[in-house]
Amino acid sequence: MRLNENLNRLSKSYLFTEIAKRVEEYRISNPDSVLINLGVGDYTLPLCDTVIKEMHKAVDDQSKKETFRGYGPEEGYLFLRNSVKNYYKTKGIDLEADEIFISDGANSDIGNVLELFSSDNPVLVPDPVYPAYVDANIIQGRKISYLDATIENEFLPDPPGEKIPSQIIYICSPNNPTGATYDQKQLQNFVDYALETDSVIMFDAAYEAFVSEEYLPSSIFQIPGAKKCAIEICSFSKIAGFTGVRCGYTVIPKKMTYEGFNINMLYKRRLAARFNGVSYISQVGAGAVFTKSGMTQVSENLDYFRKNAKVLSEALKKKGIFFTGAKNSPYVWFRCPYEMKSWEFFDFFLKKFGIVGTPGVGFGKNGENFFRLSSFGGTEETQLAAQRILQL
């Protein structure tokens, strides 16, 4: 029996596993310490009332024969796909319900959608980058190239000068980990490049709800031509705290065709073969997010985290430390003081100030000497962290 040898090419330790290991070692050695965890980008506020009420109703539906739901449509219930379609309408984007595929989260679809394309297609990802992009393509055996995201380009690299055909190009905006956000012109450059090179853009819009500046796009489909070359992956985790509930969606426009095949239809066929759909209860809860009361309540939660990001960024400003993010993102990405390496600063920050963050080098070589803090913590924790940052 031969195994998939590509699995041996993965990093031996996942970034957040290593963080958890070091934090646990510190807890054992310092049992009385109070840690402030601003590392993992996980929600800390409960689901909003509107979502909870609708999910309770969905549970009740499952207790009655006349409303019980078994297997649902693999592409998602129409009520939720229509809700997503109407949400895009508020951004000035016209979609059809059958261009929307409901998933159990963006992380799953980052790998699932790749099955549409040959492993011979090269991949282009920014560095630093969310590790899942790289891992998903390593597992499938693709050749990966990197776009350098650095201080010089404000962590927003342009398309490469060399026009390489048939690439899978990853864009995350607002970006994880840097928080940097592309503008209309910058994204248009990528769409034009993809159309010229017969490439596909994988646009990760997980943090679209945090875009607060109106001139910045929150969807690739706000860019002319994108429906011919782009797939957008999104999630209810960051807009509504569904990290424990699991629900997301992927948009594949019907205008996308390669080698004479319609990509939308291919993915629908792939789902029929590999997926039994997201739970009815999760989808009912997700649908409630886009109601009037749901949007009001999730907006209040988003503002809570935006205020946390501002508190952290203001502390860094006072110390004269370079940073990106915070304004349109829940992340603050800053240069490590004292010219420290990322993991060196992680240990120093943990042991000296009791703050857990994420070493930038865990996102790629260009992340070395940088550090990421999340605004998903509590207000008191974040304010205390800011006070400790001022002691640097």
CATH number of the domain that 365 lies in?
Answer: 3.90.1150.10
Q: What are residue 127's phi and psi, to 5 degrees?
A: -135, 115
Same domain, 158 and 306: no
| Final residue in a domain of this structure, among 261, 291, 321 | 291
Q: What is the pLDDT of residue 41?
A: 87
Cβ atoms of 174 and 210 within 8 Å: the answer is yes
| pLDDT at residue 245 in the model | 97
Q: Are 217 and 324 found together in one domain?
A: no
141 & 270 share domain: yes
Residue owning tokens 């009332």:
49
pTM of the model: 0.96
| Cα dihedral 142, 148, 149, 153 sign | negative
CB count within 10 Å of CB 318 equals 11
Q: Any idea what the Cα angle at residue 71 is, between residues 68 and 72, rounded to 5°?
A: 90
297 and 156 share one domain: no
* Residue 189 resides in a domain: yes
Tell whether 65 is covered by a domain. Answer: no
User: Do 96 and 24 belong to one domain?
Assistant: no
Q: Are 233 and 116 in contact (CB under 8 A)?
A: no
Where is the domain boundary, 291, 308, 337? 291
Q: Are 35 and 356 in contact (CB under 8 A)?
A: yes
Is there a contact between 136 and 114 (Cβ–Cβ < 8 Å)?
A: yes
Note the pLDDT of residue 14: 79
Residue 350 covered by a domain: yes
pLDDT recorded at residue 227? 98
CB-based contacts of 172, cutoff 8 Å, min separation 6: 126, 129, 130, 133, 203, 204, 206, 207
Decide if 135 is inside a domain: yes
Query: Residue 190 and residue 188: Cα distance in Å, rounded?
Result: 5
In a domain, 230, yes or no: yes
Closest CA to 373 of 23, 31, 41, 25: 41
Same domain (yes/no): 339, 314:
yes
Residue 163: which CATH number?
3.40.640.10
Q: Are 30 and 179 in the same domain?
A: no
With CA atoms as reference, report the closest residue to 388 among 347, 338, 341, 354: 354
- pLDDT tens for each residue of 252-305: 999 999 999 999 999 999 999 999 999 999 999 999 999 999 999 999 999 999
Residue 74 phi, psi dihedral angles, 5° rounding: -60, -25
| Whether 298 and 282 share a structural domain | no
Q: What is the pLDDT along the chain (392 residues), one digit of tens a residue?
A: 999 999 999 987 778 889 999 999 999 999 988 899 999 889 999 999 999 999 999 999 999 999 999 999 999 999 999 999 999 999 999 999 999 999 999 999 999 999 999 999 999 999 999 999 999 999 999 999 999 999 999 999 999 999 999 999 999 999 999 999 999 999 999 999 999 999 999 999 999 999 999 999 999 999 999 999 999 999 999 999 999 999 999 999 999 999 999 999 999 999 999 999 999 999 999 999 999 999 999 999 999 999 999 999 999 999 999 999 999 999 999 999 989 999 999 999 999 999 999 999 999 999 999 999 999 999 999 999 999 999 98
Total number of domains in the chain:
2
Instruction: Kindly state whether residue 62 falls inside one of the protein's structural domains.
Output: no
Name the residue range of residue 349's domain.
Answer: 5-47+293-389
**Same structural domain, 100 and 188:** yes
Say what the pLDDT of residue 11 is: 84
- Residue 297 shares a structural domain with residue 159: no
Residue 384 lies in a domain: yes
Same domain, 275 and 304: no
Secondary structure class of 230 (helix, strand, coil): strand
139 plus 279 within the same structural domain: yes
The pLDDT of residue 96: 98
Q: Domain ends where: 274, 291, 308?
A: 291
Q: What would the pLDDT profile of 77-124 be if each residue is shown by its tens digit?
A: 999 999 999 999 999 999 999 999 999 999 999 999 999 999 999 999
Whole-angstrom Cα distance, residue 42 to residue 48? 16
Is 172 inside any structural domain?
Answer: yes
